[in-house]
Amino acid sequence: MIYLDYQATTPVAPEVEKAMAPWVAEKFANPHSPSKWGYEAEAAIDVARKQVLRAIGLEGGSVAFTGSATEAINWALKGSVENAPLKRNRIITVATEHAAVLDTCEWLAGCGIDLTVLPVKPDGLLDLELLDRDLDERVLLVAVMLVNNEIGVLQPVAEIADMAHRVGALMLCDAVQGLGRLTIPDGPDLVAVSAHKIHGPKAIGALWMREGTEPAPFIHGGGQERGLRSGTLSPQLCVGFGAAAKFAAERCDRDYDHVQRLSRAATSALGPGWIINGSTAHRYAGNLNIRRDGIDAARLLADLRDIAFSLGSACASGSGRPSHVLRALGLDYRQSRSSIRLGFGRYTTQQDLSDACGQIAAAAKAQGHLVA
């Protein structure tokens, strides 16, 4: 199989697997127990926390582990609303955000929050003038992601955070697809990240919180994570996340250059006729969301079972519904259905990627109906 679905998840790094191994069975103590073994596990979690903090790279804040980035986003949004001063009851977000943000915001709207979902320009970028028009003293929080999971487009997070701060609002950044791949810009007050997108284990994420902006607790119980997020931490998952974060931070430049080379190789192997969805200037190179007008992308997926690629987010691919992100760019139903996402990274070889792209181009041609 040639794996080209790096936005859905990434292969676990061998270094991560090795770091986790002793914590799976041999070192099973509860990290919150006052025993020699408990303290050892707690110390390992402290090291991991510092490694994640360093990979995020922002000053003046702390990290709490969560069960996923989805949980971190739910907590950031719902906990900020709970802490909000009375007059601030508006949230602003963007139509191309991940479902973890959009669905939580919709849920909050059902509870009385005044929600604005801003459109994007045809290149997927937020129009900052539109944001400026909507910002005032009633806004509690602005939620905008760093790297879009479906189209790889980068939003100007630092400027957006600046604008939010000018009216006293908080800024939440979903940096799931950016961590370890790019520098996370300074500015956000809350940052959600996930281990399995950086060659770490699944079912662990984290929320970075600027000092003084910690959301109210979302999960109540034993008072772990300074009383902010209860529940026994998993040493194996925390250690795995820490090792993945450390390795990603150390290799960031090398991985970045590799991905740039891969992107050029993919474009050349696909040949002419493919259009990149979203901005070509402001994008992460390891995400190629492309369309070839006239093709049936779902059929392409079915014809090429030995290549793992997708039609957008894992959720969108499963539902058969056209992607909300592509719709937000203004693509019509047929254009969305002619789009595929190729995601590649650290362990993708140029040879595999070129082979896969050659097969994709040939299968597309075999469908006929291509628009030149």
Encoded tokens for 233: 């931490």
Looking at the Cβ atoms of 101 and 139, the one nearer to ligand PLP is 101
185-224 residues near ligand PLP, rule: CB under 6 A: 194, 205
Rounded Cα gap, residues 195 and 52, in angstroms: 9
**Can you name the residues that pair with 203 across neighbouring β-strands?**
none
Widest CA span in the chain: 69
Interface with ligand PLP (CB under 6 A), residue from 20, 55, 145, 172: 145
Write a three-state SS string for 90-108. EEEEECCCCHHHHHHHHHH
Interface with ligand PLP (CB under 6 A), residue from 16, 55, 64, 70: 70
C-beta of 193: minimal distance to ligand PLP in Å?
A: 8
173 included as an active-site residue = no
Structural contact between residues 115 and 77, judged by C-beta atoms closer than 8 angstroms: no
Cβ count near 64 (within 10 Å) = 21
Task: Kindly write out the interface string for residues 49-68 of this chain, putting x where it contacts ligand PLP by CB under 6 A and - elsewhere.
Answer: -------------------x
Rounded Cα gap, residues 80 and 74, in angstroms: 10
Q: Choose, from 111, 173, 238, 315, the residue flagged as catalytic.
A: 315
Q: Is there binding between residue 149 and ligand PLP (CB under 6 A)?
A: yes
Task: Kindly write out the interface string for residues 85-114 of this chain, putting x where it contacts ligand PLP by CB under 6 A and - elsewhere.
Answer: -------------x-x--------------
**Can you name the residues that pair with 120 across neighbouring β-strands?**
126
Looking at the Cβ atoms of 151 and 295, the one nearer to ligand PLP is 151
Contacts (Cβ under 8 Å, ≥6 apart) of 230: 217, 219, 220, 221, 222, 223, 224
C-beta of 349: minimal distance to ligand PLP in Å?
A: 24
* DSSP E strand boundaries for 28-89: 61-66
Looking at the Cβ atoms of 88 and 181, the one nearer to ligand PLP is 181
β-bridge pairing 139-143 and 114-118: unpaired
Interface with ligand PLP (CB under 6 A), residue from 143, 151, 176, 233: 176
Binding residue count for ligand PLP, defined by CB under 6 A:
12
Residues that are catalytic: 315
Residues that bind ligand PLP (CB under 6 A): 68-70, 98, 100, 145, 149, 174, 176-177, 194, 205
